[in-house]
Structure 1
Amino acid sequence: MPQGVRILSKAAPQAQAELFTDPALEFLAALHRTFEPIRQSLLIRREEAQRRYDSGVPLDFPPETAHIRAEPSWHCAPPAPGLEDRRIEITGPTDRKMVVNALNSGAKTFMADFEDSNSPTFTNMLNGQVNLRDAIRRNIDFEAGGKQYKLSAQPAVLIVRPRGWHLDESRVMIDNVPVSASIFDFAIYFFHNAKELVRRGLGPYFYLPKMEHYLEARLWNDIFNFSQSYIGMPLNTIRATVLIETLPAAFHMEEILFELRNHSSGLNCGRWDYIFSFIKKRRADRSAVLPDRKDVTMTVGFMDAYVRLLIQTCHKRKVAAMGGMSAQIPIKDDPKANEVAMDKVRADKLREVKAGHDGTWIAHPLIEKIARKIFDENMLGPNQYHVLREDVRVAAADLLNTHVPGKITEEGVRENISTSLAYTSAWMGGNGCIPLNFLMEDAATAEITRVQLWQWVHYKVRLDNGNPVTLEYVDRLIGELAPGIKKLAPGVKDEHVKVAAEYLKAQVRRQWPSEFLTSDLMPYLAAADGVEAAWQKAAL
């Protein structure tokens, strides 16, 4: 091992042997030592901003960057090879079967996800890196269950989503400090694959999640410049799409593009995390209480404003404005119910393309044809950069508009509890993306359920039947629903359901909800990976 580098888990030994070469770890260490202090300062800035929001200071567009928003002449980098047309992007975790199926789905691009649809066991993280390396080199073909999995002649273009700035990779220590999960995921992928991708006519492309401030985009840009120089690659080869999935980031869209302008390939409407962030950032504001999750659609005031502003901002700067994920998945053995679900997908994709989006997300290969048909019929060119949306006028008040028609119902409370318990249990067991009630649930949707339950208890809301949402009521429903979670999500373990139930009970009792359940529960994965207890605390 290079000096100062320690790997605390022996999981996935073959992957470790292949990935953790001395040059790769030296690169990782160089990134960590150069940029970790900046990351920590930016995380402190997040905490300071939250205290301002809690005190009643409203979110607004940053005054110090008004000149950037007002200047019409600057544009982002032109689309990199393979990113000119992104009308359909499929997303999912990085297990070998998913990688092959997604790359063969017919979608233009595949966002290989190390974040919200992935449970970050060390085995998942490292084997995922090996799978992407093999896919890039077309060495990923395999057989399983009597079925051949073989990469097609023209697979989707690969885009990788590393984990967010808030997460540590607690199984890897550098100078006795856990490395940033963002830097770890980026570094291992970039070091092993960047030059090979360029040799094959593409490039290292990324999706960047959960940023809250334009300075966090600047950090990524600095890392990109450092990394390209480190391996001797021309600057501005990397491209990155930023997910606007936090409420503060909605006020920094133009500045985020500006910071990444030489590496930018656009912005994406990360709708589910955005709803989660809207609740969490406005936790001290009773007027921000939202109804049942199903009623918080893309057409309600604050969501519609966010979409319109994102499209206008991206096209003003000549980059892609990507739409979000429809959670519906195909329903087998019930054609009528499946048609209802697919009609919802069609309506959602039609709304996106008519609004001016340049592409959309899907989570299941069978939805690719449905989404493609909508975009092919309504987007004749490779993108819609020419749709400038000069009619759009979005003020801060529009992004904070809390008028959301809907009710808080017992069905909504039950659904939130079931989803939270099922997903959290599955995540602790190594599965970060599960189908529930014909919807694909990941960490983002599970986070909505958690903070909504906290919000409803904290503000003592009443259901549409007049009954209050109390701690006792939520505890009773948790006790009632927990025994059925294994049927709802086959494969979860009793011990994980128990931890999930205790975690949810503790969350609704907090003064403020935790920032991220994935941060809270990372020690369980670290323990399962063999990390000693003394080091597990580093993840909290």
Structure 2
Amino acid sequence: MSIIIRDNLKETYRDVYTAEALSALSALAHFNKRIKAVMATRLKRRTDRRQQHQRITFLDPESVIPGTSIRVQDARDGKFEGSPIPADLQRQWIQGTGPAAKPNAPVENSIRNVAYALLSGADGWMFDGEDALGQITTMSLDNQRNLKLAIHKDPVFLKAAEQVAAEMNRWAVSFLGREIITDWGNQLNFTTKIFRARGLHLDDRHIRDAEGTALAASIVDATLYVVNNYQALQQAGSSVVLYLPKIQTAEEAAVWNELLTALENHLGLETGTIKVYVLVEQLEATHQLMEIRAVLGKHFVGYNTGRWDYINSVSDAMAWDKTFINPNIEAITMTYGYMRNYEDRVRRAVNTPDLHGNFALWQGGMEPNIPVGSEAGVSASMQKAVAGAGREQREGASGKWVAHWKMVHIVRPVWAEIGAANQLGRAFPRLTYTQADADGLILIEPAPTDIRGARNLLSVALQYGNAFGQGMQAAALKPADFFGNDDILYLMEDMATGEIRLSILWEWLHKGATLTEDDPETGTKAGAVFSEELYRKLLDEEYEKLLKAASKDVYENSKTTTLPIALEIANVYILSEVKPPWFIDLLNINLNNLDLAVAKNRIGLYMNTLKTEGKRITENLDFAPTNPVAS
């Protein structure tokens, strides 16, 4: 066998690591070198941009997309074979997102996540293996186990679903005035099951290849999900659907395409059986949308516009440019400067036909609100959520995401009232590739940059790092100043929302952001520069608020374990002259570690390796060879 599984997990999770799954993993393990190579190329592009002050540009139209035989201009003209949209993806007004497992929970409790999702009334549910799934202990395997039990309708899942249905109806009666589930058994068949694998930039925590190199998480996630579930999905008349995250270039998309084709060949499936949405989360990807669509070919069905990751990618790509400074995070909506230009390019890319006249789907962005709080707070937030959904529908999206099952019946009517299953083929101008287009993708517009914004960025970033260490990569959070204020609702935050907060603070500090408002509390005046002294003062104050918070908002046991580590990570990230490429790297190397001294050593090792060797440490340091593997 060409893979190594740590400890006794092969036996403990024999229902996940089946003989068929292990055979497929071994057959696909050779892709590990290819993935590591394209990730090294990605990191070099980033370093070159920083050192040479380079902006991202469009590809030469006469060039060939690396790793393929497709000419760039042909991709842009739609001269490729794509995919018709399967029946169960034709209508995806609302897709929910969230993990299929809970941290440190027995399967009977953990699997309730899947029951809530499949009884929610969402048209599709993206079960997350990436940004919203905790990775402590063996959560990635628990996630796979729960999905397999649910898709195969195992008795343990059906028992949980019956209980959850009753609970959901009790909530619905109190909030909506009616039940939302009449036949829970039949309702389980309504929602299309979708899985988000981890991106090419992450390594699995439990498997190494035969050479001892950590196996790319993308190989593991996609293989385990597809092998364990494709037959049950097909027997139920469902498509096998993945979301592919964090793709930056068409070359990276081509690696995904080869990986998925090889998996299909291994299983004896027709090429294109596995369907994929691509999360457009990276600035570089918006320069290559048609090229990405072309190389994924028969696998591709649509794009999603993910606000948070995209903000971070723009910030990261422009880290070298002292004139590019994001405002308060609340100001960067989908209608802000570079965000509206990004959204416009996506809608034009999906409605450019391929050789056979096939169009693609556009799934809109995330609604992070949860209807829990005061009557006034919930009312205002739900109005905002519905208005946002309406805007996306008018702009051409065929649906959107929600971060909590309670939001499905609040937002879905926006599309149901229109009645059309999707907006495939709605006329938009074809993409252009001018300097003005490139400039629009990094367009900064005037907006507030103030102390209130800085406090919010710091508070939620620290809380997110703490939640991550506790195994909750998706957590309901809000700034500490609003703890106890039910008029301000908690928002569902995941890896991306934690990362962008640190990224913006890094910008403010290292580029000398000018504050736009007076702040009586600190005595700071409009026109002042965001200094290191001011940053340290705010950090101390916001951290102290978390230490004093009730356990409802900050678990008491975390205040001496994971919270200090979250503080150390945030501080190193923000103060470092060399901006870390991924917040998740610093969090991942400290998973299952509660010792601050150990954390400091690991963070120091990571930053030193990045600065001196230009490499990331992406492996599980608790399952490591003598010398850590960098990629």
Counterpart pick for 1:141 among 132, 139, 158: 158
Q: Give how far 1:312 is off.
A: 1.1
1:289-304 aligned at under 5 Å gives the runs: 289-304=325-340
Tell me how far apart the structure 2 counterparts of residues 258 and 391 of structure 1 sit (CA, whole Å). 15
Counterpart pick for 1:21 among 10, 18, 22: 18
Counterpart pick for 2:118 among 95, 103, 117: 103
Given that 1:423 and 1:441 are in contact with CA atoms closer than 8 Å, whether structure 2 keeps it comes out as: yes
Residue segments in structure 1 that go unaligned for 5+ positions in a row: none
Call closer, same or farther: CA 1:499–1:66 in 2, change over 3 Å.
same
Q: Give how far 1:12 is off.
A: 9.8
Counterpart pick for 1:323 among 336, 343, 364: 364
Residue segments in structure 2 that go unaligned for 5+ positions in a row: 64-70, 102-110, 167-183, 354-358, 479-489, 517-524, 595-619
Structure 1 partner of 2:599: none
Call closer, same or farther: CA 1:57–1:517 in 2, change over 3 Å.
closer
Q: Deviations over 1:325-384 (max 9, x none)?
A: 02222133x111111111111111111000001111011122112221111223x32111
User: What secondary structure sits across from 2:342 in the alignment?
Assistant: helix
Structure 2 partner of 1:354: 394
Given that 1:114 and 1:120 are in contact with CA atoms closer than 8 Å, whether structure 2 keeps it comes out as: no
1:489-504 aligned at under 5 Å gives the runs: 489-491=553-555, 493-494=558-559, 495-504=561-570
Structure 2 partner of 1:169: 204
Structure 2 partner of 1:421: 462
Q: Give how far 1:536 is off.
A: 9.3
Tell me how far apart the structure 2 counterparts of residues 413 and 536 of structure 1 sit (CA, whole Å). 39
Structure 2 partner of 1:469: 530
Q: Give how far 1:463 is off.
A: 1.9
Q: Give how far 1:29 is off.
A: 2.1
Tell me how far apart the structure 2 counterparts of residues 393 and 339 of structure 1 sit (CA, whole Å). 41
Call closer, same or farther: CA 1:533–1:231 in 2, change over 3 Å.
closer
Given that 1:434 and 1:489 are in contact with CA atoms closer than 8 Å, whether structure 2 keeps it comes out as: no
One-letter amino acid of the structure 1 residue matched with residue 562 of structure 2: H
Choose 95-104 or 468-477, whichever is displaced more: 468-477
Moved >6 Å (runs of 4+): none
Tell me how far apart the structure 1 counterparts of residues 458 and 496 of structure 2 sit (CA, whole Å). 15
Call closer, same or farther: CA 1:282–1:530 in 2, change over 3 Å.
closer
Tell me how far apart the structure 2 counterparts of residues 165 and 147 of structure 1 sit (CA, whole Å). 35
Call closer, same or farther: CA 1:9–1:336 in 2, change over 3 Å.
farther
Counterpart pick for 2:581 among 515, 519, 523: 515
Tell me how far apart the structure 2 counterparts of residues 145 and 320 of structure 1 sit (CA, whole Å). 33
Q: In terms of Rg, which structure is larger?
A: 2
Structure 2 partner of 1:280: 316
User: What secondary structure sits across from 2:298 in the alignment?
Assistant: coil
Structure 1 partner of 2:134: 119
Tell me how far apart the structure 2 counterparts of residues 106 and 144 of structure 1 sit (CA, whole Å). 14
Does residue 455 of the first structure (1) align with residue 507 of the second (2)?
A: yes
Q: Give how far 1:50 is off.
A: 1.4
1:42-61 aligned at under 5 Å gives the runs: 42-54=38-50, 55-61=52-58
- Number of aligned residues: 534
One-letter amino acid of the structure 2 residue matched with residue 462 of structure 1: T
1:75-90 aligned at under 5 Å gives the runs: 76-90=82-96
Q: Give how far 1:231 is off.
A: 1.2
Tell me how far apart the structure 1 counterparts of residues 8 and 78 of structure 2 sit (CA, whole Å). 53
Q: Give how far 1:233 is off.
A: 1.5
Tell me how far apart the structure 1 counterparts of residues 321 and 35 of structure 2 sit (CA, whole Å). 28
Tell me how far apart the structure 1 counterparts of residues 244 and 35 of structure 2 sit (CA, whole Å). 14
Call closer, same or farther: CA 1:340–1:60 in 2, change over 3 Å.
same
Tell me how far apart the structure 2 counterparts of residues 147 and 79 of structure 1 sit (CA, whole Å). 32
Structure 1 partner of 2:453: 412
One-letter amino acid of the structure 1 residue matched with residue 198 of structure 2: R
One-letter amino acid of the structure 2 residue matched with residue 119 of structure 1: G
Tell me how far apart the structure 1 counterparts of residues 308 and 202 of structure 2 sit (CA, whole Å). 19
Given that 1:87 and 1:375 are in contact with CA atoms closer than 8 Å, whether structure 2 keeps it comes out as: yes
Counterpart pick for 2:471 among 430, 447, 458: 430
Call closer, same or farther: CA 1:132–1:503 in 2, change over 3 Å.
same
Given that 1:301 and 1:398 are in contact with CA atoms closer than 8 Å, whether structure 2 keeps it comes out as: no
Q: Deviations over 1:163-213 (max 9, x none)?
A: 111101132112111110111111111111112211221132100000001
Call closer, same or farther: CA 1:304–1:530 in 2, change over 3 Å.
closer
User: What secondary structure sits across from 2:238 in the alignment?
Assistant: coil
Q: Deviations over 1:58-77 (max 9, x none)?
A: 22221125412442454520
Tell me how far apart the structure 1 counterparts of residues 362 and 626 of structure 2 sit (CA, whole Å). 41
The percentage of aligned residue pairs carrying the same residue is 26
Q: Give how far 1:47 is off.
A: 1.8
Tell me how far apart the structure 2 counterparts of residues 409 and 73 of structure 1 sit (CA, whole Å). 48
Q: TM-score scaled to structure 1, two decimals?
A: 0.93
Q: Give how far 1:84 is off.
A: 1.1
Does residue 71 of the first structure (1) align with residue 82 of the second (2)?
A: no
Tell me how far apart the structure 1 counterparts of residues 623 and 329 of structure 2 sit (CA, whole Å). 39
Counterpart pick for 1:482 among 543, 555, 577: 543
Given that 1:178 and 1:539 are in contact with CA atoms closer than 8 Å, whether structure 2 keeps it comes out as: no
Does residue 266 of the first structure (1) align with residue 302 of the second (2)?
A: yes
One-letter amino acid of the structure 2 residue matched with residue 157 of structure 1: T
Q: Give how far 1:287 is off.
A: 2.1
Structure 2 partner of 1:5: 3
Q: Deviations over 1:477-525 (max 9, x none)?
A: 2222223335473336121110111111111121232111222221222
Choose 142-151 or 103-112, whichever is displaced more: 142-151
User: What secondary structure sits across from 1:287 in the alignment?
Assistant: coil
Counterpart pick for 1:442 among 483, 487, 494: 494
Given that 1:81 and 1:201 are in contact with CA atoms closer than 8 Å, whether structure 2 keeps it comes out as: no
- Aligned CA RMSD, in angstroms, stands at 2.4
Q: TM-score scaled to structure 2, two decimals?
A: 0.80
Counterpart pick for 2:246 among 180, 194, 210: 210
Call closer, same or farther: CA 1:236–1:72 in 2, change over 3 Å.
closer
Counterpart pick for 2:195 among 140, 154, 160: 160
One-letter amino acid of the structure 2 residue matched with residue 410 of structure 1: I
One-letter amino acid of the structure 2 residue matched with residue 306 of structure 1: Y
Call closer, same or farther: CA 1:174–1:455 in 2, change over 3 Å.
same
Tell me how far apart the structure 2 counterparts of residues 82 and 295 of structure 1 sit (CA, whole Å). 36
Structure 1 partner of 2:270: 234
Given that 2:370 and 2:492 are in contact with CA atoms closer than 8 Å, whether structure 1 keeps it comes out as: yes
Tell me how far apart the structure 2 counterparts of residues 484 and 173 of structure 1 sit (CA, whole Å). 42
Q: Give how far 1:391 is off.
A: 7.8
Given that 1:141 and 1:148 are in contact with CA atoms closer than 8 Å, whether structure 2 keeps it comes out as: no
Q: Give how far 1:472 is off.
A: 2.8
Tell me how far apart the structure 2 counterparts of residues 536 and 12 of structure 1 sit (CA, whole Å). 25
